[in-house]
């Protein structure tokens, strides 16, 4: 669905990607994790056709995003971190913008707006940042675009909205869609994403499905000094030491995304050693 080969991209003097390759398949919600300024947004804008590779190729649904053909644009919806909304009410926004998306589901859009408890009678420009973002997320999901790209979607959302966001998103995914969520707030995506890609300094540090991660790694609280010493990553907490270890005995554990992310950043080789190719 999304095929990135040997992507080279840079802004004037600063190189962001030097040979990044990545394939994303339909039917998944991908979590694109990484620190600020590591190229997550740049990658999404390359996929959306808003930036053009210096070298290498990006193909989305067999389209070249650079051409920004209508057939491509109606299949790819980007929810940027900073965005513009026109000075109209959400219903008017739908009337104006939805006809560009042939599979747009009006009922679903209105249902999402209700779930997010958004004021329908207010101009979108008079809404708070979080409310505007929720309208845009609702629109993106109701557009039925095959590829939905979200850049830091949970920024600006309150706790309840984050929970609603996860619920709405989980109900949207099907075998024909691919959702890519870029964030540095890894906790917000727990129980939502099914494949995790970590990028740093323009390269992929880690790229695995959730099932594989849980079959190879174990996340737990430990008081056993020996186990803590052997752990791939550990950090002390009030409850004991939170650790990431290789899952050698096929034990079941609950993924701690934040812990995994820290383990990848601090001890990447240790994490990768649990995933022999």
Partner 1 sequence: MQASFSFTRLGLLIRKQWADHSKLYLLAVVAIFGLMAIAFYLWSLSENHDPASTYVILIVAMFLGGSIFASMMFADLSQRTTGIYFLSVPATHAEKLVCSILYSQVLFNLVILISFFILQPITLSLVKLNPHMHFHSDMARSEFSMLAKHITLGYLSLQAFFLLGSVYFQRFAFIKTVVGGLLIGVVFVLFIAYLIKPIFPSHVEMHGIFELRTDEGQDSSFSYSLPAWQTYLMRYAVQYIWVPVFWAATYFRLKEKEL
The answer to whether the CB of 3 falls within 8 A of the CB of 59 is yes
Which of residues 152 and 200 has its CB atom nearest to partner 1 in the complex? 152
| Position 97 contacts partner 1 (CB under 8 A) | yes
Stretch that binds partner 1, among 13-21, 77-85, 157-165, 252-260 (CB under 8 A): 77-85
The answer to whether the CB of 76 falls within 8 A of the CB of 2 is no
Under rule CB under 8 A, how many of the chain's residues touch partner 1? 27
How many Cβ atoms are within 10 Å of 252's Cβ, its own excluded? 8
Which of residues 49 and 256 has its CB atom nearest to partner 1 in the complex? 49
| Position 45 contacts partner 1 (CB under 8 A) | yes
Binding-site member from 19, 27, 37, 87 for partner 1 (CB under 8 A): 87
| Position 74 contacts partner 1 (CB under 8 A) | yes
Helical (H) or strand (E) element with 103: none
| Position 69 contacts partner 1 (CB under 8 A) | yes
Which of residues 145 and 186 has its CB atom nearest to partner 1 in the complex? 145
Q: How far apart are CA 253 and CA 172, in angstroms?
A: 26
Region class of 134: left (phi > 0), else alpha (psi between -120 and 50), else beta: alpha
Which of residues 84 and 223 has its CB atom nearest to partner 1 in the complex? 84
Q: How far apart are CA 36 and CA 67, in angstroms?
A: 29
Which of residues 103 and 212 has its CB atom nearest to partner 1 in the complex? 103
CB of 106 to partner 1, least distance (A): 16
DSSP 63: B
Q: How far apart are CA 256 and CA 232, in angstroms?
A: 14
DSSP 191: T
**For 28, what's the count of Cα atoms within 13 Å in the CB-facing half-sphere?**
18
Binding-site member from 6, 19, 25, 83 for partner 1 (CB under 8 A): 83
| Position 122 contacts partner 1 (CB under 8 A) | no
| DSSP secondary structure of 10-46 | EETTEEEEEEEEEEE-TTEEEEEE--TTSSHHHHHHH
Binding-site member from 13, 14, 36, 71 for partner 1 (CB under 8 A): 71
Question: Which x/- pattern over 1-40 shows residues binding partner 1 (rule: CB under 8 A)?
Answer: ----------------------------------------
At which residue do the structure tokens 């009030």 appear? 238
Residues that bind partner 1 (CB under 8 A): 45, 48-52, 68-71, 73-74, 77-78, 80, 82-84, 86-88, 92, 96-97, 99-101
């Amino acid at each position: 669905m999304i095929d990135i080969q040997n992507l080279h991209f840079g802004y004037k003097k600063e190189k962001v990607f030097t040979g990044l390759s990545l394939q994303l398949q339909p039917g998944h919600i991908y979590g694109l994790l990484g620190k600020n300024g590591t190229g997550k947004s740049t990658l999404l804008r390359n996929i959306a056709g808003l930036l053009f590779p210096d070298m290498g190729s990006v193909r989305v649904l067999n389209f070249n995003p650079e051409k920004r053909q209508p057939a491509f644009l109606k299949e790819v919806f980007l929810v940027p971190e900073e965005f513009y909304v026109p000075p109209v009410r959400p219903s008017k926004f739908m009337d104006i913008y939805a006809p560009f998306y042939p599979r747009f589901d009006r009922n679903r859009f209105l249902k999402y707006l209700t779930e997010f408890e958004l004021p329908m009678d207010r101009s979108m420009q008079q809404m708070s940042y979080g409310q505007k973002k929720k309208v845009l997320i609702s629109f993106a999901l109701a557009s039925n675009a095959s590829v939905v790209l979200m850049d830091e979607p949970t920024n600006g959302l309150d706790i309840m909205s984050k929970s609603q966001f996860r619920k709405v998103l989980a109900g949207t995914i099907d075998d024909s869609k691919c959702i890519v969520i870029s964030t540095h707030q890894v906790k917000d995506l727990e129980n939502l994403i099914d494949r995790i890609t970590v990028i740093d300094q323009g390269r992929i540090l880690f790229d695995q499905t959730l099932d594989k991660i849980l079959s190879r790694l174990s996340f737990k609280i430990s008081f056993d000094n020996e186990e803590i010493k052997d752990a791939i990553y550990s950090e002390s907490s009030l409850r004991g030491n939170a650790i990431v270890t290789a899952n050698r005995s096929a034990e079941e554990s609950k993924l701690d995304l934040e812990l995994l992310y820290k383990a990848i950043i601090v001890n990447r080789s240790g994490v990768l050693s649990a995933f022999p190719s």
